[in-house]
Amino acid sequence: MDINKLPTIPAGPVGYLRRPAHTPVDQPAPNPLCALFGIRYPIVQAGMIWCSGWRLAAAVSSAGGLGLIGAGSMYPEVLREHIRKCKAATDRPFGVNIPLLYADLDKHVGIVLEEEVPIVFTSAGNPALLTPRLKAAGRTVVHVVSSVKFARKAQEAGVDAVVAEGFEAGGHNGREETTTLVLVPLVRDAVQVPVIAAGGIADGRTVLACMGLGADGVQVGSRFVCSAESSAHPAFKEAVTRVEEGGTMLTLKELAPVRLMRNAFFQEVQAAYARGAGVDELKQVLGRARAKRGMFEGDLDQGELEIGQVSAAIRNVLPAERIVQGLVDEFHTAAARIGLNGRSLMAPWQHPGPDQRLPK
């Protein structure tokens, strides 16, 4: 498939991504991410293998955030089905997360272009690999970074925004171990494009803190694993609500660093390190389809259970809409507590879609 020959989204105002020519005086200036994506709140639900299918993405987008379908673990035609179901379930913008490390990468890109998905988040690789092709096809492109060096590279590659993801985050992670608190201000100062903070955010206080560090919005992963609409196995969701502080650890740096819950499989990995295992032996211990076995099939002993440090603060499973609204409400409460008016940062933005026109 030659993805350069696939349909492009025409330049200029189209569909729900239309932006206002000017902001009316009685409307606060839109948050840059709300304007970029055409969403109400600058809250992105992270793409997460085995957890974020169309149900979760549609629920978050319908609630005013940006829902992402996680393409990583999907067969290409399954991805197509998820995109079509998501389109049918919501009239709000949504996107697809494409990690750059999977074998079906080219097919995933082809489907995202064919199905005219307007927003693509890439991760786990070189931003120069896909950004120029996606931008040439008129897509909004965001890349996930865990260091200033890669934030600069992403900006040079032409992305519209970056996600600055700290060491606390669930799933695959940076080797440098830079925390969100340190990374976000460094990235903010290094690039001109909007910055989305990720890693350790599960309530409104942490959203406010990230805005204070210079982020324009947030990407939230672990909290949405424990949503009613996430496709994670119910046993995995339940296990997340019982994780205690210190219950996760970054490991497998020699393969692809990943933060995992400390279950029996994790102990096997630790034992392998203790006997001085090399890359080949670690690969053998990891085996195949461990993440599916743990997160999707609910094998809490032998599966790979990816989750962030903030799982220690997640104590229930809620509908995605309540999670989004909770983040917004708690943000305002936390802002008021320290004497701030959080309205201009988190003012709901009405995107000028067919049924939601900006006030004249």
Ligand X SMILES: Cc1cc2nc3c(=O)[nH]c(=O)nc-3n(C[C@H](O)[C@H](O)[C@H](O)COP(=O)(O)O)c2cc1C
Q: How many residues bind ligand X (CB under 6 A)?
A: 30
Question: What track of x and - describes contact with ligand X for positions 234 through 273 (by CB under 6 A)?
Answer: ----------------------------------------
CB of 71 to ligand X, least distance (A): 8
Name the packing angle between helices 264-274 and 279-286 (round to 10°): 160
Kindly state whether residue 49 participates in binding ligand X, applying the rule CB under 6 A: yes
Of 130, 167, 97, 153, the C-alpha closest to 4 is: 130
Which of 200, 204, 257, 294 forms a contact with ligand X (CB under 6 A)? 200
- Closer by beta carbon to ligand X, 30 or else 70: 70
CB of 180 to ligand X, least distance (A): 8
With 0-12 / 13-18 / 19 or more C-beta atoms within 10 angstroms meaning exposed / middle / buried, residue 244 is exposed
Kindly state whether residue 217 participates in binding ligand X, applying the rule CB under 6 A: no
Question: What track of x and - describes contact with ligand X for positions 163 through 182 (by CB under 6 A)?
Answer: --x--xxxx-----------
CB of 54 to ligand X, least distance (A): 15
Using an 8 Å Cβ cutoff, are 140 and 37 in contact?
A: yes
Give me the DSSP letters along 17-71: G---SS--TTSPPPPHHHHHHT-SSSEEEPP-TTT--HHHHHHHHHTTSBEEEE-
With 0-12 / 13-18 / 19 or more C-beta atoms within 10 angstroms meaning exposed / middle / buried, residue 52 is buried
Which of 144, 162, 215, 226 forms a contact with ligand X (CB under 6 A)? 144
CB of 360 to ligand X, least distance (A): 39
Site for ligand X in 297-356 (CB under 6 A): 306-308, 310
- Closer by beta carbon to ligand X, 30 or else 127: 127
Contacts of 175 (CB under 8 A, 6+ apart): 146, 253, 257
Q: Is residue 161 helix, strand or coil?
A: strand
From CA 255, how far away is CA 81, in angstroms rounded?
31
Which of 53, 65, 70, 303 forms a contact with ligand X (CB under 6 A)? 70
Which of 30, 221, 294, 342 forms a contact with ligand X (CB under 6 A)? 221
Of 215, 211, 223, 179, the C-alpha closest to 338 is: 211
The residues that touch ligand X, with contacts defined as CB under 6 A, are 46-49, 51, 70, 72, 97, 99, 123, 144, 165, 168-171, 198-201, 219-222, 225, 295, 306-308, 310
